[in-house]
Amino acid sequence: MPKSQDNIENIIVLMLENRSFDHMFGYLTIDQPKVPGDKIDNLHGDESNLDSEGTAVPVSMDAKYSGDYRVDPGHHYPDVTEQLFEKDDVRSSAKPTMGGFVKNYGAQPGGSVAASHRIMKCFDPQKLPALTTLAKEYAVCDRWFSSIPGPTLPNRAFVHACTSLGHVDMNPVAYWSVKSLYEQLDAQRVTSRVYSHDGNTIAFTFRNLFKKGGKFLGSYNDFLDDLDGKKLPKYCFVEPRFNDWYDEANHIYYISDDQHPDNNVVEGELLIREVYEAIRDSRYWEKCLFVVTYDEHGGFFDHVPPPKTVPSGQEGDKATFDFKRLGVRVPAVLISPYIERGTIVHTQLEHSSIAATVRELLAPDMPPLTDREKNANTFEDVLTLTDPRDDLKTLDMKGLRRSDVDPNTHGSATLSDQQRNQVLAAYYMDLDRPAGKRVIGSNGITVLEDINTEQKAAMYIKEVSESLGQ
């Protein structure tokens, strides 16, 4: 193993929400690639999909930070199947056409033919200064796919456990019994932790993590404190803020920065910058490999057909999908002082590659979690420099500013499908305790149906998390 890989003692992952590779990186170019003549597999500019009236809708470079996707694009398994194959029932061995994105978006509740064209919109790289700069300065992966052709929870299950137990749906309690990467690392005496904003964590779906309280779970402020201290876990998973909410007592409003449509992409850009600069300014910089990626494509167009893969081996007899095909391609950037500027990674990767790389670099004696992880490619070979770089200490955000928010309406939005399932996951955790210690039934929240806005969801999840000892 090269010396630069021996230097890595910490791996930090920041996973954002629901954007495809082409949507974020389709027009990105690397002016001075590490390998002369190398190019990202991105858009040519003539890619298109037909709408429901037979009109060809081309890709374009005019995506807005917010406002295009008031109707949430489809990303459940049937939606993704239609996006890939232009039909809703196909064999896993069928060849994707990548031609059903526009029609599927137009068919969403509240959608229209005119609105359906927006799913082909992609970002001007100049509008994403944090993500674009890191991709150019370090390594961009143009073959990183989501783990399954479906929504958030099963894809994040593959990040945390390299299996979704045969699920392609948003069942929030499907993974309660799963042994996660964090427990596997703990058995190897390798520290790890999930850091969340406001106690709102996808890790609610892993019941065993909460039994250990603060050992495996912490706040985003804990992450910043750990970076500033001497006890940063060897593996860190950082989650964005999923809900808007207003802290009335302290007159502070908090804005979701997960970039889930239609949340403002600027907020996620600012989070990426904040995490990068905190790592860059810390004592861990020369020991660290930082990964920025997205859980799934969120219904947005991508032109690269998902490739074949192997199942996890834990699907069970009731699985409705054979897990022999990956999901849609997502953005992924690898950052380390040992990565040469302009690196383009063409290796096929997916979310199980994170655990495989963690095992390779931090816990070589740890057995693979699943067959999927055992067969997943790793990305430690991106660390090619002998001496660490000491440049790019800050990111120029070119005047990007936080959203203007009216505290009187902030947090009043109704819940998306994902947010409802996060509430449901917290609710089941809440019910798992004695009645007298539950949050539900107190503070004006008497039944689950009372939690019907982002403000109420954020407050309920925060209280459940705090009451569980996080």
Reported as a single tens digit per residue, the pLDDT across 134-189 is 999 999 999 999 999 999 999 999 999 999 999 999 988 888 888 999 999 999 99
Is the pLDDT at 2 greater than 60? The verdict is no
392 located within any domain = no
The residue whose two tokens read 């500019």 is 45
Distance, in Å, from the CA atom of 291 to the CA atom of 155, rounded to the nearest integer, reads 16
- The CATH number linked to 10 is 3.40.720.10
Reported as a single tens digit per residue, the pLDDT across 382-406 is 999 999 999 999 999 987 877 666 6
pLDDT at 120: 98
89 located within any domain = yes
**Centroid of chain to Cα 465:** 21
Domain count, the chain: 1
Rounded to an integer, the average pLDDT of 119-126 is 97
- SS3 category, 235: strand
Is the pLDDT at 450 greater than 90? The verdict is no
470 located within any domain = no
The residue whose two tokens read 């779906």 is 205
Instruction: Say whether the peptide bond before residue 257 is cis (omega within 30 degrees of 0).
Output: no
427 located within any domain = no
- List alpha helices for 255-351, DSSP H: 265-280
Distance, in Å, from the CA atom of 86 to the CA atom of 106, rounded to the nearest integer, reads 13
pLDDT at 409: 66
Distance, in Å, from the CA atom of 295 to the CA atom of 387, rounded to the nearest integer, reads 32
274 located within any domain = yes
Distance, in Å, from the CA atom of 223 to the CA atom of 215, rounded to the nearest integer, reads 13
- SS3 category, 185: helix
Q: For residue 47, what are the domain limits?
A: 3-382
298 located within any domain = yes
pLDDT at 28: 97
**Lowest-confidence segment of 5-14, 73-82, 201-210, 315-324 by average pLDDT:** 201-210
pLDDT class of 107 with cuts at 50, 70, 90: very high
422 located within any domain = no
**Centroid of chain to Cα 323:** 20
Is the pLDDT at 199 greater than 90? The verdict is no
pTM, to two decimals: 0.95
Question: Number of helices and strands (H, E) in the chain?
Answer: 15, 14
- List alpha helices for 86-199, DSSP H: 101-106, 113-116, 129-137, 152-161, 181-187
Return the amino acid letter for 231: K
Q: How many CA atoms lie within 13 A of 406 on its CB side?
A: 4
Those residues whose C-beta lies under 8 Å from the C-beta of residue 183, and which sit 6 or more positions away, are 208, 209, 216
Rounded to an integer, the average pLDDT of 186-213 is 84
pLDDT at 470: 43
Dihedral angle sign, alpha carbons of residues 80, 85, 90, 91: negative
- Cβ proximity of 383 and 289 under 8 Å: yes
423 located within any domain = no
Phi and psi based region of residue 403 (left: phi greater than 0; alpha: psi -120 to 50; beta: remaining)? beta
pLDDT class of 445 with cuts at 50, 70, 90: confident
- List alpha helices for 8-94, DSSP H: 21-25, 77-85
Reported as a single tens digit per residue, the pLDDT across 413-443 is 888 888 888 888 888 888 888 888 888 877 6
pLDDT at 213: 66
pLDDT class of 317 with cuts at 50, 70, 90: confident
